[in-house]
Amino acid sequence: MSALRQALCGFALLGALALFVWGQQQRIAVAKQATALAQIDAETARADADHNLTTATNLRNILSQERQAQSQLRSLHDQLRQGVARREQQIEVLKRENTVLRDWAIQPLPDVARRLRERPALNGADAYRQWLSGSSAVPTAGDPAKP
């Protein structure tokens, strides 16, 4: 019986070895699948990174252009403000020099012109439209004046 026992032990060892080899093959197959998925994820991540880099570069260019445009607008605003200040100074000089102009500037605005500057507190486009179509609207040049 010892030969039979040895043969059974040999078959058991051979079966255990076959089972071990089969388990290792399964592990290798799973590892290969995980590697393939990791490579796909890495390629996707690289593509996303390239896309993000392109987007960041485009946004950086747009930001640079907008900053340059803001700088130009600030420069233009400063020039316009200086021009307005010069004109105001010129008007003041003219008022001091010319009595007719000074007397004209001191006079109050006519009623029609004053009404153009008077506006009630409006909330929204509908209120503005109603105010424009109301009785306080300035008549057009062709309409006769209301008594």
Cα-to-chain-centroid distance, residue 43:
30
Asked whether residue 137 is domain-assigned, the answer is no
Query: How far apart, in whole angstroms, are the C-alpha atoms of residue 117 and residue 111?
Result: 10
41: exposed, middle or buried (Cβ count in 10 Å: 0-12, 13-18, 19+): exposed
Q: Which pLDDT belongs to residue 142?
A: 63
Asked whether residue 70 is domain-assigned, the answer is yes
Cα-to-chain-centroid distance, residue 131:
36
Q: Per the structure, how many domains does the chain have? A: 1
Asked whether residue 26 is domain-assigned, the answer is yes
* Residue that the structure tokens 């009595």 belong to: 99
Q: Which domain holds residue 33?
A: 7-108
Asked whether residue 119 is domain-assigned, the answer is no
Asked whether residue 132 is domain-assigned, the answer is no
Contact predicate 110/116, CB 8 Å: no
Asked whether residue 125 is domain-assigned, the answer is no
Amino acid (one-letter) located at 128: Y
What is the block-wise mean pLDDT of the chain (147 residues), using blocks of 10 residues?
Answer: 86 92 95 95 96 97 97 97 95 85 83 76 81 64 58
Asked whether residue 114 is domain-assigned, the answer is no
Asked whether residue 18 is domain-assigned, the answer is yes
Query: How far apart, in whole angstroms, are the C-alpha atoms of residue 45 and residue 41?
Result: 6
